[in-house]
Structure 1
Amino acid sequence: MSKITGCLLFGFMVVIFLSACAGTGYQPLNTANYPVFHKNFDVTIGWNVSGKDGATAVAGYVRNNRYHVMQDLELRIKLFDAFGAEKEQKSFMIIPSDLRLDEYANFSVLFGSSPQTGDKLKFIYRYRGVEDNDGAVSWMDSFEAPLK
């Protein structure tokens, strides 16, 4: 094999390898997959609910709408029955711990009971918001939504 043919073959293999890597890389979050959402001045939280095998799964995303960086974002989700009694509570620490402005992070929790008519979710979130070099502001907020 000549030196030119070897170089061409090597170059061809590199192009094929790199194009394969590009095809399986990072996939941006498609918020259209989460038709239920709550938008506030600081965050948008979108989610789906599914029930299977006596459990309720809540999976979704959190988007930073306000701060240069949100640090240590924690999401707590409570499940209530139709009469307002708390059935379960789950917490989820958002990774990465520094969520930059306009970035998204996924979350998922699994409750040990199946979804019932009239059930409600209460989302409680807290974080430290950082704007430039002005230090951090601790913030906490919540909202409720029907389970289905």
Structure 2
Amino acid sequence: MKKFLAALPIVFAVSAVQAADIVDTAKSAGSFNTLVTAVQAAGLVDTLKGPGPYTVFAPTDAAFAKIPKAKLDALLKDKAALTKVLTYHVVPGKVMAADVKPGMVKTVEGSSFTVKTSGGKVMVDKATVTKTDIAADNGVIHVIDTVIMPK
């Protein structure tokens, strides 16, 4: 009985730990600082912390660095344009890499992007998917190497 009671606090501590939502998962990865800043500037934090599920094609800091600084700064200050760009990276539902099929995919922004395979790599518009299936408790993140822009 003493052993059982001694183990009880450990069981409660472990069960209190939860998986992180999409925003917290992106923050803890350390390579999405610009994306997290943009999500905050666009006022989308609560949405991406919500129940979802969402699939986010997340550009890395290096992907954002490909955008000329003046253009990126202007985008970060234009909430409507920023929201349009960010929601273009989000697909409703939880789509794991094994379930991704080539073709047009409707985004939360409202328009669609093209998914295709080329040389064994998955492309989203002109971005290459570099890492897949980063699980969050309200969806999944797939890493891309370029910021994609709605038409």
Normalising by the residue count of structure 2, what TM-score does the alignment of the two structures yield? 0.29
Which of 1 and 2 has higher RCO (CA within 8 Å, sep 6+)? 2
Q: Which has the higher strand share?
A: 1
Q: Which has the higher helix share?
A: 2
Normalising by the residue count of structure 1, what TM-score does the alignment of the two structures yield? 0.30
